[in-house]
Structure 1
């Protein structure tokens, strides 16, 4: 049974702007490939796709589209990420189940991972992306994604999309 999570996927031009800002990231960090970039709304763990999709469809029904923008870099222990700005994002995440997690919801887009005991590895990236700001976009759909370990890494797949009203 795959692990599931709900997310917003940035549009292609925003992904391209982030990739351009990174340039050639080089060695030292384990970079997430652009095709995996997303803003998690809620993580569910291993679950049945059909059951979770029905649950999520009910929770997201009638929810408005949200304005989103990626901004400066920050870190969690072992994670380099971009800040996500959007005043309506937290209510959407809570509706999707984010409140069920033990830690507070912090909207972000993971760029790379690094050993927790070497926080300095991300320092130059955090500083270099301190002025980054993407264009704003209106997220008109949320997706339910599967996360499955495969040879060579983890693969994400969109299992179902849920429209958010414009």
Structure 2
């Protein structure tokens, strides 16, 4: 099972984004809303039992970041919402969850689908990330929550 840690937007944030995406022309594929997340750390193929204690031990004193989704971007044909952060706490959170230096530059985003890049003026509501989930995946966009870890207040 492929494992990664993520922050999942709350329902009101997802509702706001879903309404904005309804007007995006030319999307050849839309990622299922249930799969929307901001990846914090990626661990590859692993047994969850070995990763859970490591993740939990890393999150004992991490501050809760405030984030918002803004500006549609792309990586090739992949469409993504960039994450706007008013402080550096999201990068700090991702840094403590990093397993290797394979991707040294952390670019927070939420994948929304595939298609040509279009101009989507968007500013989503801000929210506080108050938990991290450890997700397992057998195939793309088929995620299982393996563990939920609340962040300290």
- Give the TM-score normalised by structure 2: 0.91
SS in 2 for 1:95: helix
- Measure the CA separation in 2 of the matches of 1:159 and 1:61: 18
Cα shift readout 1:34-78 (whole Å, capped 9, x = no counterpart): 110000001111111011111111111121111010001011123
Matched, 1:157 2:147: no
**Paired residues of 1:146 and 1:156 also in contact (CA < 8 A):** yes
Unaligned runs of 5+ in 1: 114-120
- What pairs with 1:3-152 in structure 2 (closer than 5 Å)? 3-23=2-22, 28-86=27-85, 87=87, 88-97=89-98, 100-113=101-114, 121-124=115-118, 127=119, 129=120, 131-149=121-139
- Measure the CA separation in 2 of the matches of 1:97 and 1:79: 23
Unaligned runs of 5+ in 2: none
CA drift of 1:28 comes to: 4.6
CA drift of 1:123 comes to: 2.4
Runs of 4+ in 1 over 4 A off after TM superposition: 24-28
Structure with the largest fraction of helix: 1
- Measure the CA separation in 2 of the matches of 1:110 and 1:141: 19
- Measure the CA separation in 1 of the matches of 2:32 and 2:147: 21
Give the paired residue count.
Answer: 151
